[in-house]
Homo-oligomer: A and B are copies of this chain.
Amino acid sequence: MDKGKLLIESLPYIKKFKGKTFVVKFGGSMFQNEILKDLFIKDVALLSLVGINVVLVHGGGKDINYYLKKMNMEEKFIDGYRVTDDPSMDIVEMVLSGKVNKDICSRIVNEGIKAIGISGRDNGLIIGDRMNGPYGNVGEIKIVNTKVIEDLLDMDYIPVVSPVAEDESGNALNINGDTAASNIASALNAEKLILVTDVDGLYKDYKDKDSLISYIDSKLLKKLVDEEKLSGAIKPKAMSAVEAVEDGVKNVHIINGNEAHSIILEVFLENGFGTMVGRNENE
């Protein structure tokens, strides 16, 4: 009986989110094991089946590192950006768009859901520019042409997007996955951007595990960032969340992919997991 009650608890959320768009960003290497990864894919399939338009954006840092090392290429980071010369850009793209992307796509299709894996270079989805600075082919996003994503969603495909852009001459650019997801969510006027991480969410005080924030508005969050209250690793995610909300995404969620079904629980149950970022309605 309790099972039924639980299923019914999801009723208002299914109604509310039917036909809405969720952009979900996750790092494939983030999951502690294959089982968790598989559960996550099933969760995504469920979102899609109940009528939500799901767009997946993935990362792939670990795999990139593995292959760079294998080819005796040096990993180098400046200001948090992976310095990407031409040969390593090739590796970055091949790993992201050729390996990680297709593996995820294959897993979703095995759940009986239609999926196509694309990169930001397909049909001019993400046009960028090389960043100023000594970062090589690291790009910043200039334009997001959502046409290809809208076409795929119209035909009931889950678009799986690898975070590779190109400049106007057609050269591949290495872009940050969270930023890509945030920009795509804004361009699609998405209902939700969901950032799947390996922490439970944002903390008021990152040393105090009891200070997890359940809801915060983007203005307050920006203040927390500015006042350096957030741990280093979560800061860029917090910034992506702030920007997405400011650019029109209704809510951003930061959840823990290593808690089984965290995404489903966050979306469909009254007391979700993780942190939800929203607009300050008083403004």
Interface residues of A (CB under 8 A from B): 1, 3-8, 10-11, 14-15, 18, 39, 42-43, 45-46, 49-51, 67, 70-71, 90, 93-99, 101-103, 105-107, 109-112, 114-119, 121-124, 148, 151, 154-155, 157, 164, 166, 170, 172, 259-262, 264-265, 268-269
**Copies of the chain in the assembly:** 6
Question: What are 20 sample pairs from A and B whose C-beta atoms fall under 8 A apart?
Answer: A3-B269, A4-B261, A4-B262, A6-B6, A7-B7, A7-B10, A7-B261, A8-B39, A8-B43, A10-B46, A14-B50, A50-B50, A51-B51, A94-B99, A95-B98, A102-B164, A105-B121, A106-B166, A106-B170, A116-B122
Contacts of A107 in B (CB 8 A): 170
CB pair A1–B98 under 8 Å, yes or no, is no
User: Known contacts being A42-B8, A49-B11, A265-B4, is A122 close to B102, with CB within 8 Å?
Assistant: yes
Please name all residues of chain B whose beta carbon is closer than 8 Å to the beta carbon of A114 when the two chains form the complex: 123, 148
- Give chain B residues whose Cβ lies under 8 Å from the Cβ of A115: 122-123
Establish whether residues A46 and B14, one from each chain, have CB atoms under 8 Å apart when the complex forms.
yes
Instruction: Give the chain B neighbours of A268 by CB distance below 8 A.
Output: 7
Query: In the complex, given contacts A70-B71, A95-B98, A154-B155, what are 14 additional A-B residue pairs having Cβ atoms less than 8 angstroms apart?
Result: A3-B265, A3-B269, A11-B42, A11-B111, A18-B49, A50-B50, A102-B119, A105-B123, A109-B124, A110-B170, A114-B123, A116-B123, A117-B119, A117-B122
Binding site secondary structure of chain A: helix
A98 CB contact (under 8 Å) in B3, B45, B98, B112: B98
| CB neighbours of A259 from chain B (8 A) | 1
Name the B residues within 8 Å of A157 (CB-CB).
Answer: 123, 148, 151
- Bound Cα distance from A2 to B101, whole angstroms: 29
**Shortest CB distance A81–B (Å):** 21
Q: How far is the CA of A5 from the CA of B6 in the complex (A)?
A: 11
Measured CB to CB, the nearest residue on chain B to A105 is B122
Contacts of A97 in B (CB 8 A): 97-99, 101-102
- Check A45–B11 contact: CB distance below 8 A: yes
* Given contact pairs A95-B98, A97-B102, A261 touches B8 in the complex (Cβ within 8 A): yes
